Every structure is written in C-alpha cells, then in structure tokens.
C-alpha cells in the first residue's frame, strides 16, 4: 500500500500507535512522508478535532480506542467510555483492549465479548449493527415497488425498531445502542421511513450540512461519498427540488469527487459499484445529468457472462448494477433489456452465499443479510421489466 486511500476503518488512528511502539522498540526508524508518516499526520488532525475533550462513547473515536496504546490512556474518559451493552464503540477489538489494559477483567466488557464470539471462535468487525442491517434490507425491498398487505405487515416490527432508534436533531446510528449518530444511517432510515409511509424530521438530516458537503460523523477527517449520496436521496424524498441550495451543494460535491467523471469510490466499501449504483438510483429522473456517465460506465463494464465485479464477478456488485439500471430505465433512461436479462440470469445462478467480503471496517467484512436483500431486490426488479 502506497497511500491511505481505501484503508480500513480506524487505520489512521491505530497504526500510529503501533508505529510509536515499534519505534520505541527500535524495530523501525524514520518514516518521513510515506504512508506511516501521513497516517501520523491524520492521527494528529483527528485528535485536534477533540478540542481538549477526552475520548468517550459520545465520539466515533471510541470505536478505535485501542489506538491510545499503553502510554496515552489519559486521552480516555474511562467512566464514560463503555456503551450500555458493555462494549467500547460496539468494537470487539476496542473492548478487548479496554478489558486488558484500561479496566482489567471489567465484567461488563467481558460479558459483551463472550456474547459476540461465534462457534468457531471468531469475532465480527462490529456488533451489533441492527439499524444498518434492517434499514438497508428495507431500502432494498422498497425499490421493488408497491408491497402487498401481507409483506407490509411483516415489515412493521422492523420499521417500528428503526423508527424508535431515531432521535430528533441527531438522527440514528448503525445500531440502536450506539451513541454517536451519523448522516449515512440517518439518511437511509429517513428515506426508508418515508418510503413506507412514516415520517421523521428532515431538519435532522440538514443538521449534517457543512460548507461544501454533508458530514457522516462529526469528527471525520475525510467525507463519506455514500453518506452524501444517501443524503441526496433523503432530500429528494423530503420533496426538495434539484435547484434547492442543499441539493445543488450535494450534486457539486459528487461531481467533484467522481473518478474521471465516471464513478465513485467510498470509504465504507471496496467496490465502486456500491456507491455508484446508489448514486444512479438517487439521481434517476431527478439529476440525470449527474447519473448518465455512471450508467454508461456500468453498462460498459458488464462482463461477457452478464456479471459485474471490480475484482472478481460477484452477486453483490451484480445486484447493485441491476438495481441501478432498472431504476434508471424506469425514470426514462436508455438501458438495453438484454443487459438486464443477461445480468439477472447470472445472478440467479450465483444468488446464494457465501459472498466475498467487500465492506470496509477494521477488516473487510460481509453483511450477508444486506447483500441477500440486494440480490433478491435486483432479481425482482428485472423480473418486472
């Protein structure tokens, strides 16, 4: 790796702590302006955003609490660090650090760790992430069109759950018990609730607005592309016209951030098809001038077998592309039916897990239920064409 773009979550916080330890042990020497040096600069920039406050559960930095190592524990607000479920930031690694180095054998932390260990001894990147999982699955389902009464009835408990997680003026988080709220989950939850006939305040989403983009997290060093894409979708469903200043700001930001005027990468996903497909859906029939080049790119990069994949063909990426192309076609765009049917035929044969891990956390991970819902959504959409 020659730069920190695409690095895993917390990289810029945790790696400098490891570098400092390695330097103290004489294992490495000067790192200058290479990736280690730049990571330390990012670490300093992130800490500067604390403005004298300590790291606690109210900041997203708690997720990477292990970055303080053994010699900077004074940066932690220990009494206010753990979440109600005993975790530190819903992060198994940060919680393990806490139970070893900060409050040895802390009972609540140990109980959390025991609760999330799988049968084979592995632990997830983050746990739980119940709002994210349910909201994204409901969003994928909503794309398929009007639902019958039985299906709508089955959705109600999940809608109740994500609606209950919403705090006016703050929004929601990837999990109901996670303290820091964020623009990405909040905007998807807003759109989902609107799609299913429920309502929350759009002013909360507008609270994430900054000078030239919208925030995902309050103390982030670099913005999230998918968060801005999802906020665009939320504002659209709130009835904002494309000429509204906040919408125009989002569109300018997306245009500027696009790779060679064609597609988008985001820090939460290793494939450009995720952010790019969601951007097409947000823009279809609303800001077509932003989405057209990306639609052309998606069509041009379809494999001979009908699949899509930035590294290897995958059901997840193929599903995203089919969702985007169908929604673009329904908004009046030109999409060949052959491309849809060829893609759906491949997807039907590869619909079942396991799926490759493409989502970026502290490691690459696979939210299987979210991906499965996208696959089923895409197959349903193409079947309707």
pLDDT at residue number 6: 60
Determine, yes or no, domain membership for 123. Answer: no
Q: What is the rounded average pLDDT of the residues 151-174?
A: 98
Q: Per-residue pLDDT averaged across 360-370, rounded?
A: 94
Q: What is the sign, positive or negative, of the torsion defined by CA atoms of 140, 146, 151, 156? A: positive
Count of CB atoms within 10 A of residue 73's CB?
Answer: 12
Q: Does residue 333 sit in the same domain as residue 275?
A: yes
* pTM score of the predicted model: 0.92
Give per-residue pLDDT as tens, 182-224.
Answer: 999 999 999 999 999 998 999 999 999 999 999 999 888 789 9
Instruction: State which of 116, 142, 158 marks the end of a domain.
Output: 116
The reply to whether 122 falls in a domain is no
* Residues 96 and 215 occupy one common structural domain: no
Domain identity same for 141 and 234? yes
CATH of the domain at 22: 1.50.10.160
In a domain, 28, yes or no: yes
The answer to whether residue 3 is domain-embedded is: no
Tokens of 27: 């294992």
User: How far is 138 from 3, CA to CA, in rounded Å?
Assistant: 36
Residue 74 and residue 173 share a domain? no
Ranking 74-78, 109-113, 252-256, 296-300 by mean pLDDT, the lowest is: 74-78
- Residue 261: CATH number of its domain: 1.50.10.20
Q: How crowded is residue 62: how many other Cβ atoms within 10 Å of its Cβ?
A: 27
- Residue 34 has a pLDDT of 65
Does residue 331 lie in a domain region? yes
pLDDT at position 68 over 80? yes
Give, in order, the Cα–Cα distances in Å from 63 to each of 96, 101, 162, 171, 339: 12, 16, 22, 19, 42
For 192-231, the DSSP string reads HHHHTT----HHHHHTTB-SSSB-SSTT-SS--HHHHHHH
User: Between residues 370 and 68, which one has the greater pLDDT?
Assistant: 370
pLDDT level of residue 4 (50, 70, 90 thresholds): very low
Look at residue 1 in the predicted model and tell me its pLDDT. 32
Residues 151 and 32 in one domain: no
Same-domain status, 75 and 158? no
**Total domains present in the chain:** 2
**N- to C-terminal Cα distance for the chain?**
43
Mean pLDDT, range 335-356, rounded to an integer = 98
Q: What is the pLDDT of residues 142-162, one digit of tens each?
A: 999 999 999 999 999 999 999
Asked whether residue 269 falls in the same domain as residue 198, the answer is yes
Instruction: Tell me, yes or no, whether 125 lies in a domain.
Output: no
Given 64, 91, 116, which residue is the final one in a domain?
A: 116
Per-residue pLDDT at 2 exceeds 50 = no
What is the enclosing helix (H) or strand (E) of 360? Answer: strand 359-360
Q: Is residue 2 part of a domain?
A: no
Identify whether residues 98 and 187 lie together within a single domain.
no
Report yes or no: 190 and 230 within 8 Å, Cβ to Cβ.
no
pLDDT at position 41, please? 73
Residue 1 maps to a domain: no
Specify whether 107 is located in the same domain as 175.
Answer: no
Where in the sequence is the domain holding 43, given as residue range(s)?
A: 11-116
CA–CA gap between residue 126 and residue 363 (Å, rounded): 10
Note the pLDDT of residue 67: 84
To the nearest whole number, what is the mean pLDDT of the chain?
92
User: Which of 73, 91, 116 is the last residue before a domain boundary?
Assistant: 116
Residues 74 and 179 in one domain: no
Q: Please indicate, yes or no, whether residues 109 and 211 belong to a single structural domain of this protein.
A: no
Q: Which of 20-24, 246-250, 263-267, 287-291 has the lowest mean pLDDT?
A: 20-24
Residues 63 and 135 in one domain: no
Is the pLDDT at 3 greater than 60, yes or no?
A: no
């Amino acid at each position: 790796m020659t730069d920190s773009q695409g690095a895993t979550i917390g990289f810029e916080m945790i790696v400098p702590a490891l570098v400092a330890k390695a330097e103290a042990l004489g294992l490495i020497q000067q790192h200058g302006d290479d990736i280690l040096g730049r990571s330390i600069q990012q670490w300093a920039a992130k800490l500067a955003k604390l403005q004298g406050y300590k790291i606690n559960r109210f900041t997203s930095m708690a997720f990477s609490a292990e970055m303080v190592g053994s010699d900077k524990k004074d940066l932690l607000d220990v009494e206010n660090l753990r979440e109600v479920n005993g975790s530190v930031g819903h992060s198994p690694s940060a919680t393990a650090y806490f139970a070893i180095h900060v409050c040895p054998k802390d009972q609540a932390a140990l109980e959390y760790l025991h609760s999330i260990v799988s049968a084979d001894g592995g632990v997830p990147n983050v746990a739980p992430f119940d709002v994210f999982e349910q909201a994204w699955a409901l969003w994928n389902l909503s794309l398929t069109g009007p639902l019958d009464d039985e299906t709508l009835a089955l959705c109600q408990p999940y809608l109740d759950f994500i609606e209950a997680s919403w705090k006016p003026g703050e929004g929601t988080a990837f999990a109901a018990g996670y303290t820091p709220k964020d623009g990405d989950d909040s905007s998807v939850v807003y759109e989902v609730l609107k799609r299913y006939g429920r309502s929350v305040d759009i002013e909360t989403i507008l609270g994430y607005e900054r000078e030239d983009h919208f925030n995902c997290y309050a103390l982030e060093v670099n913005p999230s592309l998918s968060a801005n894409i999802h906020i665009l979708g939320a504002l659209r469903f709130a009835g904002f016209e494309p000429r509204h200043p906040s919408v125009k700001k989002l569109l300018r930001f997306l245009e500027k951030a696009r790779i060679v005027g064609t597609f988008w990468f985001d820090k939460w996903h290793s494939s450009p098809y995720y952010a790019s497909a969601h951007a097409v859906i947000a823009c279809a029939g609303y800001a077509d001038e932003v989405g057209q080049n990306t639609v052309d790119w998606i069509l041009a990069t379809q494999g001979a077998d009908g699949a899509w994949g930035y590294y290897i063909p995958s059901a997840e990426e193929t599903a995203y592309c089919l969702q985007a192309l169908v929604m673009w076609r329904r908004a009046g765009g030109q999409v060949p039916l052959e491309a849809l049917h060829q893609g759906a035929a491949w997807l039907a044969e590869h619909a079942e897990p396991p799926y490759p891990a493409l989502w970026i956390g502290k490691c690459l991970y696979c939210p299987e239920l979210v991906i499965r819902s996208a696959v089923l959504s895409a197959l349903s959409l193409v079947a309707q064409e």
